[in-house]
A = this chain, B = another copy of it.
Amino acid sequence: MIKIAIDAMGGDFAPREQIDGALKALAEISDIEITLYGDPEKIKPYIKDEKRIRIVASDGVIDMGEKDPIKAIRSNRKSSMAMALSSVRKEENDAVVSSGATQALIAGAHILVGRMKTMKRTAIAPVLPTASKKHFILLDSGGNLEIKPEYMVQQAYFASIYAKEILGVEKPKVGLINIGTEEGKGRQLDTDAYTLFQENKHIDFVGNVEPKEILDPPCDVMISDGFTANIVMKTIEGTAKGMSSIMKEELMRGILGKLGVILLLKNLKCFKKRLAPEEIGGAMIYGLKGVVIKAQGSSQADGFYNAIKQAAHVVRQDVIGKVSAIIESEANQDG
């Protein structure tokens, strides 16, 4: 059985949507057991007589707007997020899924789950939709604002294995996010990373990729430092939001417009769904001793279910073990 810890109190619609997502996961996935960390009084009303699920009482929630995430975790060890994370360290669970505050989850995962010995930096890696119905992994979306190129190489190993084992890509390709495609473009970091990627035999490197291909990239992994990739992620979000708002305004103009939109309601819904990140699951935090998945803060039951399904799959495929094996074999070769 794969044991999954759920931070039942984290997220905009917690605990309701988190619990409904967990119940759906139990119904759909036969090899998992779930532990909900949260306030039993608030959780119990949603649970009937389901098997393979239990509640562990926690005390308090990490606030979404927390300014000092490390302090928030340290001073709230009984919070649902902290207890769920600690349960992985204690090997009571194999994975954690949380819709709680991202920075607190990253900080908490460092402190309470711990970093893989071989990986020097953690990273947070959302999976985003492309125009061609595939997906790509965006690295590092906010873990390390500034980073050494050799740590980017480790993150690329992780993403490549993730893409193979979880997204089912036979030979995952990695692209460096840059302002131009030619070699030599970008800052010192970018040219240094380019060289390391190109020389590395574990990485199938396609070179620099401009974000004007961001929803149709020639690769499965798009990588940059944590500042840049976070800016890319938020710009995608902002552009999608702005375009949707302009579209709504323009399409509804006039009688023909309103009629046209009515005819298109179903198709517009599919369009919206194609762009929704929670269709894919959550963002995995790479570089930890255990599996930690950050689901969208605004997750509803289906989105949260997808994140649980993803967590179980990462455990099942032993992604972390496979990454460790590569990094260790490399360290031995170097030494």
A200 within 8 A of B: no
Known A-B contacts A182-B67, A231-B232, A264-B264; A215 and B187 likewise in contact (beta carbons under 8 Å): no
Give the residues in chain B near A214, CB-CB below 8 Å: 234-235, 238-239, 242
A260 within 8 A of B: yes
Copies of this protein in the complex: 2
Partner of A267, one of B131, B232, B235, B253: B253
A318 within 8 A of B: no
In Å, the complex CA distance between A245 and B268 comes to 13
A213 within 8 A of B: yes
- A252-300: which have CB < 8 Å to B? 252-254, 256-257, 259-264, 266-268, 270-271, 274-275
Give the residues in chain B near A145, CB-CB below 8 Å: 179, 186-187
Q: Is A238 a contact partner of B211 (Cβ separation < 8 A)?
A: yes
Q: Is B216 a contact partner of A241 (Cβ separation < 8 A)?
A: yes
Known A-B contacts A257-B263, A260-B264, A261-B260; A238 and B215 likewise in contact (beta carbons under 8 Å): yes
Q: Is B250 a contact partner of A239 (Cβ separation < 8 A)?
A: no
Q: Is A245 a contact partner of B131 (Cβ separation < 8 A)?
A: yes
- A41-72: which have CB < 8 Å to B? 67
In Å, the complex CA distance between A228 and B239 comes to 16
Give the residues in chain B near A187, CB-CB below 8 Å: 145-146, 227
Q: Is A211 a contact partner of B186 (Cβ separation < 8 A)?
A: no
CB distance from A129 to the nearest CB of B (A): 8
In Å, the complex CA distance between A210 and B235 comes to 8
Give the residues in chain B near A257, CB-CB below 8 Å: 263-264, 267
Q: Is A210 a contact partner of B234 (Cβ separation < 8 A)?
A: yes
Q: Is B239 a contact partner of A131 (Cβ separation < 8 A)?
A: no
Q: How large is the interface on A (under 10, 10 to 19, 20 to 34, 35 or more residues)?
A: 35 or more
Partner of A242, one of B130, B177, B246, B254: B130
CB distance from A121 to the nearest CB of B (A): 15
Contact with B along A216-245 (1 / 0, CB 8 A): 100000000001101110111111111101
A15 within 8 A of B: no
In Å, the complex CA distance between A131 and B179 comes to 25
In Å, the complex CA distance between A227 and B263 comes to 43
Q: Is A251 a contact partner of B239 (Cβ separation < 8 A)?
A: no
Give the residues in chain B near A252, CB-CB below 8 Å: 267
Among A241, A263, A268, chain B packs the most CB atoms within 10 A around the CB of: A263
Q: Is A212 a contact partner of B234 (Cβ separation < 8 A)?
A: yes
Known A-B contacts A235-B232, A247-B271; A241 and B260 likewise in contact (beta carbons under 8 Å): no
CB distance from A110 to the nearest CB of B (A): 18
In Å, the complex CA distance between A252 and B271 comes to 11
A108 within 8 A of B: no
Write 8 A-B pairs (CB below 8 A) sorted by A numbering.
Answer: A130-B242, A186-B227, A215-B242, A240-B243, A251-B264, A251-B271, A253-B267, A260-B262
A residues apposed to B, CB below 8 Å: 67, 130-131, 142, 145-146, 177, 179, 182, 186-187, 210-216, 227-228, 230-232, 234-243, 245-247, 250-254, 256-257, 259-264, 266-268, 270-271, 274-275
Q: Which 6 A-B pairs rank lowest in CB-CB distance, beginning with the nearest?
A: A215-B242, A260-B263, A214-B238, A260-B264, A239-B239, A235-B235
